[in-house]
Amino acid sequence: MNAAPPAANALPKVHYLNVDYGIRSWLFTIDHKRIALLYLGSITLFFVLGGLFATAIRLELLTPAGDLFESETYNKMFTMHGVVMIFFFLIPSIPATLGNFLVPMMIGARDLAFPRINLLSWYIYTLGGLFTLFAILSGGVDTGWTFYTPYSSTYSNTNVMATAVGVFILGFSSILTGFNFIITIHKMRAPGLTWFRLPLFIWAHYATSVIMILGTPVVAIAIALVGLERLFHIGIFNPALGGDPVLFQHLFWFYSHPAVYIMILPSMGVISEIVCCFSRKKIFGYSFVAFSSIAIALLGFLVWGHHMFVSSQSMYAGMVFSILSFLVAIPSAVKVFNWTATMYKGSVMYNAPMLYAMGFIGLFTMGGLTGLFLSTLATDVHLHDTYFVVAHFHYIMVGGALMGYLGGIHFWWPKISGRLYPEAWARFSALIIFVGFNLTFFPQFILGYLGMPRRYHAYPEEFQVLNVMSTAGASILAVGYAIPLIYLFWSLRYGPAAGPNPWQAKGLEWQASSPPPTHNFPETPVVTEEAYEYYPGAEADRV
């Protein structure tokens, strides 16, 4: 059932990892693959940090009384969990690691269009990260990751400025990455690689890059304005100074709703690659999957007001944002149906990446469908700012984006490291994560409809049972995340050599050796066929 690894593979003599040694060779590298690994290291550190905050939150919520932390400390915990996980893990996650590594390889290029700007974007990310770490170490911040005014601009006396500066700086790294991807995809495709032969991973990253470029400046401006009001008392958001507090919400969500698609679209790209490879099938409805990414990216800019149905926004504006939010659900549904149909009459293998992909399809479906409860005006009035919302977006961001990320890391691990990860452990942890995830977050849907507000340090006793379930699930989930961290490190040294194409997958990245040489391809490849051409009887797939 497995794609059997060709026997007696050896790592190539010279590849991007051993071409040069020493810390300078990493800090001054302009190789997109090495930069991807710099990002991989950074975002893993932030993921662990964000996970520690999540652990603290779940432990506090084990009992109804606020007895583990002071309320001020708890508020900082959930704020920093959100800031770290969203800005420093989820937004860069797939684009900055897998995207950086694979966009040039998938289109047959030697690097991104602007390798130095690519390195610059990592330094900017690191600088933003240092500001945020400073904010955390110097007392933390308690505004919630949403920075709602006038609380953030006037009332909070925590370290809002350092965090805001960190997030502001970080935005530029995102913009540069998006800009680099768009130009690379336009200008550097291998001969014969027309738009409709591109892997769907590339379409997804193109759509993501558009959002990064168009949306990120707006959140940067919004955060800069919060800083101006905080430092110089310029009245922008605080009504006491003549400002409008709801204006901030408009600016913030104009970016932060599309940002959800920055997190999920690359994951969708990963899932398309994995489902095709492990079903040995061409994607069902290529152009529908490709254009649904673009449709999501564009429609995603028109739905921000669904975060504001009870904010004092007019009733009719609410209705417009509601109907537009339903429309953006359609392309997401189309993708789910197409992935499922791709498995039909396929040749399905149960490797770990495929388990993650199947998990993604199921959990994203649930996450997407529960989004309908929040686009529906009357139910959102009741559910807004309750645990239902918390459950919904964790199904999208953890059940969806993170499952896709882990699936992708496993799928391309042989390409990145040149070695195979231990398959049995990987399947086991994928299963643990699926179970732990559902036990953690499913009870929160019910908590939300029962009326438990989010960001509560202490809560009424009748909510305890569901909270205990959730905390129990979180402890399972933590184990599930720890296992891959251990065996992936282990495999760097002890994993068997993978060979160029252990999955017998299609796609140009699999034509290069594993790990690839610095310039990826000795000769520019020429593309003569569409993506995912797993021909009947084509044993020639084995390179």
Q: And the tokens for 235?
A: 């009245």
One of 302, 453, 481, 483 touching another protein (CB under 8 A) = 453
Taking the complex as a whole, how short is the minimal distance between the CB of residue 46 and another protein, in angstroms? 23
In this structure, which amino acid lies at residue 10? A
Say whether residue 535 binds another protein (CB under 8 A).
yes
CB-CB neighbours of 97 under 10 Å: 26
Long-range contacts of 368-374 (CB under 8 A, 24+ apart): 368/329, 368/332, 368/333, 368/336, 368/396, 370/395, 370/445, 371/325, 371/329, 371/396, 372/326, 372/329, 374/306, 374/325
One of 286, 301, 393, 510 touching another protein (CB under 8 A) = 286
Restricted to residues 129-148, the positions that interact with another protein (CB under 8 A) are 142, 144, 148
Taking the complex as a whole, how short is the minimal distance between the CB of residue 73 and another protein, in angstroms? 10
Question: Segment near another protein (CB under 8 A), from 163-171, 201-209, 363-371, 507-515?
Answer: 363-371
Question: Segment near another protein (CB under 8 A), from 24-32, 179-187, 241-249, 483-491?
Answer: 241-249
Taking the complex as a whole, how short is the minimal distance between the CB of residue 496 and another protein, in angstroms? 17
Residue closer to another protein by CB (options 43, 226) is: 226
Say whether residue 522 binds another protein (CB under 8 A).
no
Say whether residue 150 binds another protein (CB under 8 A).
yes
The CA distances from residue 158 to 95, 194, 356, 538, in Å, are 32, 52, 39, 62
Size of the site for another protein (CB under 8 A): 111
Restricted to residues 307-326, the positions that interact with another protein (CB under 8 A) are 309-312, 315, 318-319, 322-323, 326
Taking the complex as a whole, how short is the minimal distance between the CB of residue 119 and another protein, in angstroms? 38
DSSP code for 241: G
Taking the complex as a whole, how short is the minimal distance between the CB of residue 329 and another protein, in angstroms? 6
One of 19, 55, 63, 72 touching another protein (CB under 8 A) = 72
Residue closer to another protein by CB (options 60, 509) is: 60
Residue partners of 462: CB distance under 8 A and separation at least 6: 450
Question: Segment near another protein (CB under 8 A), from 13-21, 88-96, 123-131, 242-250?
Answer: 242-250
Residue closer to another protein by CB (options 20, 530) is: 530
The CA distances from residue 41 to 89, 195, 405, in Å, are 11, 32, 14
Cis peptide before 353 (omega within 30 of 0): no
Beta bridge partner(s), residue 239: none
Say whether residue 93 binds another protein (CB under 8 A).
no
Q: And the tokens for 181?
A: 């991807």
Restricted to residues 402-441, the positions that interact with another protein (CB under 8 A) are 439
Say whether residue 45 binds another protein (CB under 8 A).
no
Question: Segment near another protein (CB under 8 A), from 181-189, 212-220, 283-291, 516-524?
Answer: 283-291
Restricted to residues 330-359, the positions that interact with another protein (CB under 8 A) are 330, 333-334, 336-338, 340-341, 343-350, 358
Question: Segment near another protein (CB under 8 A), from 127-135, 218-226, 414-422, 472-480?
Answer: 472-480
CB-CB neighbours of 51 under 10 Å: 19
Say whether residue 250 binds another protein (CB under 8 A).
no
Question: CA-to-CA distance for 16 and 295, rounded, in angstroms?
Answer: 37
Burial classification of residue 526, based on how many CB atoms lie within 10 Å of its CB (0-12 exposed, 13-18 middle, 19 or more buried): exposed
Taking the complex as a whole, how short is the minimal distance between the CB of residue 365 and another protein, in angstroms? 5
Question: CA-to-CA distance for 98 and 409, rounded, in angstroms?
Answer: 7
One of 465, 485, 486, 526 touching another protein (CB under 8 A) = 465
Per the listing, tokens 């659900």 go with: 329
**Backbone φ and ψ of 419, nearest 5°:** -130, 155
Q: Residue 261's closest CA among 299, 232, 305?
A: 299
Question: CA-to-CA distance for 267 and 44, rounded, in angstroms?
Answer: 17
Say whether residue 281 binds another protein (CB under 8 A).
yes
Taking the complex as a whole, how short is the minimal distance between the CB of residue 25 and another protein, in angstroms? 39
Residue closer to another protein by CB (options 261, 286) is: 286
Q: Are 524 and 108 in contact (CB under 8 A)?
A: yes
Give the DSSP letter string of 99-159.
IHHHHHHHTT-SS-S-HHHHHHHHHHHHHHHHHHHHHHHTT---STTTT-TTIIIII--SS
Taking the complex as a whole, how short is the minimal distance between the CB of residue 252 and another protein, in angstroms? 13
Taking the complex as a whole, how short is the minimal distance between the CB of residue 201 and another protein, in angstroms? 18
Say whether residue 537 binds another protein (CB under 8 A).
yes
Question: Segment near another protein (CB under 8 A), from 17-25, 106-114, 264-272, 380-388?
Answer: 380-388
Taking the complex as a whole, how short is the minimal distance between the CB of residue 433 and another protein, in angstroms? 15
79-90: buried (b, 16+ CB within 10 Å) or exposed (e) per residue?
bbbbbbbbbbbb
Restricted to residues 163-202, the positions that interact with another protein (CB under 8 A) are none
Question: Segment near another protein (CB under 8 A), from 124-132, 298-306, 443-451, 494-502?
Answer: 443-451
Residue partners of 261: CB distance under 8 A and separation at least 6: 207, 208, 211, 296, 297, 300
Question: Segment near another protein (CB under 8 A), from 112-120, 451-459, 507-515, 516-524?
Answer: 451-459
Say whether residue 526 binds another protein (CB under 8 A).
no
Say whether residue 451 binds another protein (CB under 8 A).
yes
Question: CA-to-CA distance for 79 and 48, rounded, in angstroms?
Answer: 15
In this structure, which amino acid lies at residue 260? V
